[in-house]
Amino acid sequence: MISYFDNSATTRADDEIVEILDKYHTEEYYNPSARSTYSLNVANKIVAARESIANALGVTAQEITFTSGGTESNNLGILGCLRAKRGNIVVTAAEHSSVYNTVTELGSKGYDIRIAKVLPDGHIDVDDFVKQVDADTVLACFMHVNNETGAINDVRLLNELVKHKNPQTVTFSDGVQALGKVPVNLRHIGVDIYTFSGHKIHCSKGIGGLYVKSGVRIVPRVFGGGQEKGLRSGTEYAGGIIALARAVDSAVKSAPEHAVIYNQYKQMLRQSLSDIPNWQENCTQNVSPAIMSLAFADIKGEVLVYMLEQHDIIVGTGSACSSKSKQSRVARAIGLDARYAEGLLRISFSKYNTREQVIQLGENLAQCVKQLRKTMVG
Amino acid sequence: MKVIIVRYSEIHLKGNNRDFFESALISNIKFVLKEYKYDFARSNARYIIRNFDETQIENIIDALKNVFGVHSLSVALEVDSVYEQISAAAIQLAPASGTFKVSTNRADKRFPTKSMVLSADVGGDILERNPRLKVDLFNPDNTVYIDIRENGKTFVYTQSIKAVNGMPVGTGGKGIVMLSGGIDSPVAAYMMAKRGMTLRAVHFHSFPYTSMQAKQKVLDLAKLLKKYTLHITVDVVSFTEIQTAIHEKCPEEYMITIMRRFMMRIAERIAKNTGAGAVITGESLGQVASQTLESITSTNSVATIPVFRPLIGFDKDDIIEIAQKIGTFETSILPYEDCCTIFLPKKPVTKPRLSAVEKVESVLDVDALVDNALGNIETIVIE
């Protein structure tokens, strides 16, 4: 039995999600845009799903658009809201690659890209961020929960300060690691665009979406049959959308209860590592209960991952989405000490983890760190 | 009829053992074309591929282009050596615009028209059909080649596609290449295969400290190399016990030097066990601490067979250029830890004295460690 602690990379889909997907693949497989009554039934289910998700986020159904996931949502939100090919974009150094690389790519298209600092625990340096915003800022991107350290940013405050300085600036927040983990009320937060993904909350890969505040104009990147109000053409992934509504509902409702349990898990792990010297928890204040980011001195996190795998335990190093590049951009951004920079380990929880698994993880992690420090030249 | 002309490289310089080189080349060509149906014929200093599925021509050319020993290829029209057919083929292949010339080679002296005259006549026919074209004998945009062979057949073609050159794999002996997963070693392998060597690879794996992905990466690289080496087998050697022993008993700064001596010993033993006569490494002088003259001296001193280092005088940029050309670069830069990076000491010795190395190594039971590693090999034939 595998103990899976890399839930920020992806999660196991719930059985009921698989059942829904199965149903819409084999029974209710009708194209929701076609003319039959069967199609209409599917279309109505999509309407209900959209409403359900909008309710969970505190917004209206018209403001929700479905896409294939976080990366597409981030691309559509960022590229879709830009009009004039001038001005500046403020982004943080710790954004997910699908935001960071999309924005830096815009640097070659005439925009001035301003990269705001991140504090050592992964939180956005709010003062530095707001300082970079001026009359020419067309877009400001600040993620809600950092995918590597778990830092929860005060996106309501950031939005307010940015809008105060320049009401014309479009505010964008990547909520992929936030939805279902921390409270998300978009009316309250106030951002213009907010993105989310299904497979981080026990839904399937291939479904996600974004919120675009009513009145904020966004243009499509994909053209075709005009689905999703013309914003994202392509036959709707009905099963995915309906399953996503179920997953969002379940994740949002159970989040407070899970937060308590995950915080206990974190405490158990701190206990297990208490007699190990030279490690640190990268973010302890205003942090997602689901993510525990650790750094061990003189050890390569990647090697720890392989060793834990020998005990059927799966953890992450940094963000799996940028695992094709060796050094973590976020590790650099938070200014980790050189001794710790390669020893990053990300433990991320889900409802499928048990106390026994956490105990086993703690014991094996402590043992692997000791063994590696003995075996490896640091 | 459309045919492919395959020209070979320096083999034609060989005297009495030319047959040895040619038969290796022919067998390699047939190996890379084993998926296709075609007729193969030897001609004077070239081979002719006929009767293939013309929809597969790009794939066939791609396969042939990478066979060491092939110098160049042309897709030609083969016609009877009569003026009307030659002229018609030339008109068919002539460019649509720009300047051109016609160049004739008359191997068959029985053909009544002399080369110069035939070129001029056929050039006239082409011009007559397409007045937009202009003749330029000295610097033409395009050349239409007419090659009149002794068998009553003529090839007409316009382009010569450069192939990899080199010597046929199988004519240069057998070598064991140390394949790390980095950028350099696949290039070293390519270069020795280009000189006709048959290759077998050895990879050192530090399970469980290195991942299955790191091993997979090396197997992926071997698969990419197979396009050139035709056959390749990878011996994956578990290196963890040796690394742990060195770490426990030797000073940290000698870690890499002693590791490399063990790798060399193991590679040489594999060479001897598999009938290979050389070890190949991707070392480039001064690139890293283990590739200084002193470090190479330390590593080399445990070898008794030749060690080929085809990249020794190459800059990293040059190596990367070849890696990109042969298609291994993208795989090589995947960021998995390998056995050399996980045990990297902070300050490796850059100029180890051989006597000092031998002394620090003397605390290890070298023979037992090597024997153990050799007993623990996973051999993977790349399909």
On whether both A246 and A147 belong to a single domain, the answer is: yes
Kindly state the average pLDDT of the residues A206-215.
97
List the single residue in B with minimal CA-CA distance to A304: B209
Q: What is the percent of chain B where pLDDT is above 90?
A: 81
State both tokens at A144.
């809600």
Chain A contacts of B210, Cβ < 8 Å? 303, 306
Which of A303, A323, A377 faces B337 most closely, judged by CB atoms? A303
Q: Measured between CA atoms, how close is B287 to chain A, in angstroms? A: 20
Q: Where are the alpha helices (DSSP H) in chain B?
A: 18-32, 57-65, 83-93, 115-129, 184-194, 212-229, 240-249, 255-274, 293-300, 316-326, 329-332, 339-342, 354-361, 366-374
Q: The CATH number of the domain where A46 resides is what?
A: 3.40.640.10
Q: How far is A117 from chain B (nearest CA, A)?
A: 26
The CA angle B96-B87-B140, to the nearest 5 degrees, is 45
Rounded to a whole number of angstroms, the distance from the CA of B210 to the nearest CA of chain A is: 6
pLDDT for position A322 = 44
Tens of pLDDT, residue by residue over B203-248, are 999 888 888 888 999 999 999 999 999 999 999 999 999 998 998 8
Q: Please indicate if any CB of chain B lies within 8 Å of the CB of A352.
A: no
Tell me the domains of chain B and their CATH numbers. Answer: 2-162 (3.30.2130.30), 174-381 (3.40.50.620)
Same domain for A174 and A27: yes
Q: Does the beta carbon of B342 lie under 8 angstroms from any beta carbon of chain A? A: yes
- DSSP annotation of A322 reads G
Q: How far is A323 from chain B (nearest CA, A)?
A: 8
Q: Which of A231-245, A362-376, B46-60 has the lowest mean pLDDT?
A: A362-376
Q: Are residues A107 and A54 in the same domain?
A: yes
A125: helix, strand or coil: coil
d(CA B263, CA B370): 9
Distance from CA of A69 to the nearest CA of B (A): 25
The answer to whether A371 faces chain B, any CB pair under 8 Å, is no
Least confident of A98-112, A241-255, B11-25: B11-25
Give per-residue burial for A247-266: e unless 16+ CB within 10 Å, then b: bbbbbbeebeebbebbeebb
Interface A-B, measured as beta-carbon pairs within 8 A, has a size of: 40
For B134-170, write each residue's pLDDT tens digit: 999 999 999 999 999 999 999 999 999 999 999 999 9
A127 and A63 co-located in one domain:
yes
Residues of B in contact with A317 (CB under 8 A): none
Asked whether the CA dihedral B134, B137, B140, B143 is positive or negative, the reply is positive
- Please report which residue ranges of A66-154 form alpha helices under DSSP H: 70-81, 97-106, 126-132
Query: Are A191 and A298 within one domain?
Result: no
Same domain, A215 and A296: no
Show the domain range for A201.
Answer: 15-250
Tokens of A229: 């109000």
| Element holding A262 (H helix, E strand) | helix A238-272
Q: What is the pLDDT of residue B43?
A: 85
Judged on CB neighbours under 10 Å (0-12, 13-18, 19+), A335 is exposed
Q: Which residue of A has its CA nearest to B254?
A: A377
A210/A286 same-domain check = no
Tokens of A262: 């995950």
Q: Dump the DSSP string for B151-166.
A: TSEEEEES--EE---S
pLDDT band at A246 (very low <50, low <70, confident <90, very high): very high
Taking the C-alpha atoms of residue A13 and residue A301, their distance in angstroms, rounded to an integer, is 27
How does B234-250 read in b/e, with b if 16+ C-beta sit within 10 Å?
Answer: bbbbbbbebbbbbbeeb
- DSSP H or E segment with residue A356: helix A355-375
**What digits encode the pLDDT tens for the residues B1-40?**
899 999 997 766 677 788 889 999 999 999 999 999 999 9
Taking CB atoms and an 8 Å cutoff, what residues of chain B touch A303? 209-210, 337, 342
Identify the closest residue of chain A to B247 by CA–CA distance.
A375
- Touching check for B368 and chain A: CB below 8 Å? no
| In the predicted structure, residue A18 carries a pLDDT above the cut 90 | yes
- From the list B335, B336, B345, which residue is nearest A377 (CB)? B345
Domain boundary among A250, A279, A303: A250
Tokens 């298209």 belong to A109
Which of A296, A299, A300, A302 is the mutation pick for testing B, counting most B CBs within 10 A?
A302
CA-to-CA dists, residue A102 to A72, A80, A110, A141, B339, angstroms? 11, 11, 13, 11, 35
pLDDT for res A178: 98
Predicted complex ipTM: 0.72
Please, what's the b/e burial string for A198-223 (b: 16 or more CB within 10 A of its CB; e: otherwise)? bbbbbbbebbbbbbbbeebebebebe
pLDDT at A323 over 50: no
Range name among A150-154, B18-22, B101-105, B257-261 with the lowest pLDDT average: B18-22
DSSP conformation letters of B261-327: HHHHHHHHHHHHHHT--EEE----TTSSGGGSHHHHHHHHTT--S-EE-TTTT--HHHHHHHHHHHT
Domain final position from A250, A280, A311: A250
* Number of Cα atoms under 13 Å in the Cβ half of residue A176: 33
User: Chain A closest CA to B201's CA: distance in Å?
Assistant: 24
Q: Where residue A321 falls among pLDDT bands split at 50, 70, 90?
A: very low
Could you tell me if A108 lies within 8 Å of chain B, comparing CB atoms?
no
A338 touches chain B (CB under 8 A): no
User: Any idea which residues of A carry the catalytic annotation?
Assistant: 321
Chain A residues in contact with B247 (beta carbon < 8 A): 375-377
Specify the pLDDT at position A320.
Answer: 46
**Is residue A97 predicted with pLDDT exceeding 80?**
yes
Torsion on CA atoms B155, B160, B165, B169, rounded to nearest 10: -50
Interface of B with A in 216-245 (CB under 8 A): 243-244
Q: Please tell me which of the candidates B208, B334, B344 has its beta carbon nearest to residue A306.
A: B208
Are A113 and A176 part of one and the same domain?
Answer: yes
Same domain, A41 and A188: yes
Task: Answer yes or no: do A375 and B336 touch at CB < 8 A.
Answer: no
Minimum mean pLDDT among B10-24, B51-65, B201-215, B364-378: which range? B10-24
Same structural domain, A228 and A272: no
Residue A294: pLDDT band with limits 50, 70, 90: very high
Q: Do both A156 and A294 map to the same domain?
A: no
Q: Last residue of some domain: A190, A220, A250?
A: A250
> What is the residue-averaged pLDDT of chain B?
93
Q: What is the pLDDT of residues B321-362, one digit of tens each?
A: 999 999 999 999 887 777 666 666 777 888 889 999 999 999
Residues of A with Cβ-Cβ distance to B209 under 8 angstroms: 303, 306-307, 372, 375-376
pLDDT in tens, B88-117: 999 999 999 999 999 999 999 999 999 999
Q: How far is B302 from chain A (nearest CA, A)?
A: 24
**Pair of tokens at residue B256:** 């890499």
What is the spatial distance between Cα B48 and Cα B39, in angstroms, rounded to a whole number?
A: 8
Amino acid at A123: H
A280 and A186 within one domain: no
Q: Would an 8 Å CB–CB cutoff place B330 in contact with chain A?
A: no
CA distance A32 to A35: 8
Contacts of B252 in chain A (CB under 8 A): 377
What residues of chain B lie within 8 A of the CB of A305, using their CB?
211
Alpha-carbon distance B222 to B218, whole Å?
Answer: 6
Structure-token pair, residue B48: 């002719």
How many domains is chain A built from?
2
Q: What is the pLDDT of residue A378?
A: 43
Answer whether A325 sits within 8 Å of B335, measured CB to CB: yes
Please report the pLDDT score of residue B45 as a whole number. 80
B255 and B267 in contact (C-beta within 8 Å)? no
Whether B251 has its CB under 8 Å from any CB of chain A: the answer is: no
| DSSP secondary structure code for residue A221 in this structure | S
Tell me the chain A residues in contact with residue B335 when contact means C-beta distances shorter than 8 Å. Answer: 323-326
